[in-house]
Amino acid sequence: MEISPDLFRQVAGFFATGVTVVTTEDGEGVPYGLTVNSFTSVSLDPPLVLICLDNGLTGLDIFLESGRFAVNILTKDQQDISNHFASRGTDRSQGPYAPGDTGVPVVTGSMAWFECETVHRYAGGDHVILVGEVQAARVGDSDAEPLLFYRGRYRDIASA
């Protein structure tokens, strides 16, 4: 049975995810950011995370050549930042960037972030999978609520 991309996207949309902006910089130090929800932790020892980037991403070479990236976990108040970095044609060098502990750009106001060195790269269909070893990690606003994405829309955590 062949699964269409539309059906795959619809079914995958039933898995609620957090929203991140993944950042890096080019060889001249110009930052680049991209909204990504295909992120997960992989290992505690060593500390590893992974992200998946579309092979058609115009900035893919920046991530591959840089060899490092940050995963910025957004708060529910950062929906505009998510939209900025998710929009085609946006200037991805423009954003609320600050240098992280390792020098990789991070998104200011994020709930938390990981700064990573790329240690593995894998082909994953129409995406490339980057595994990063965490070199630094910080909690920004621990009282904030996360920005969530479910069934094609931003969502809030329901109170119990």
Which pLDDT score is estimated for 108? Answer: 96
Give the residue-averaged pLDDT of 63-76. 96
Domains detected in the chain? 5-155 (2.30.110.10)
CA distance 19 to 154: 9
Contacts of 5 (CB under 8 A, 6+ apart): none
Q: In a 10 Å sphere around its CB, with 0-12 CB exposed, 13-18 middle and 19+ buried, how is residue 18 labelled?
A: middle
Give the residue-averaged pLDDT of 123-145. 94
Residue 16: both structure tokens together: 């609620």
Q: Check pLDDT > 50 for residue 148.
A: yes
Q: Kindly report which listed range (10-24, 114-128, 144-158) carries the lowest average pLDDT score.
A: 144-158
21 phi and psi angles, rounded to 5 deg:
-115, 125
Residue 67: both structure tokens together: 């060899």
Q: Check pLDDT > 50 for residue 160.
A: no
Give the residue-averaged pLDDT of 102-117. 97
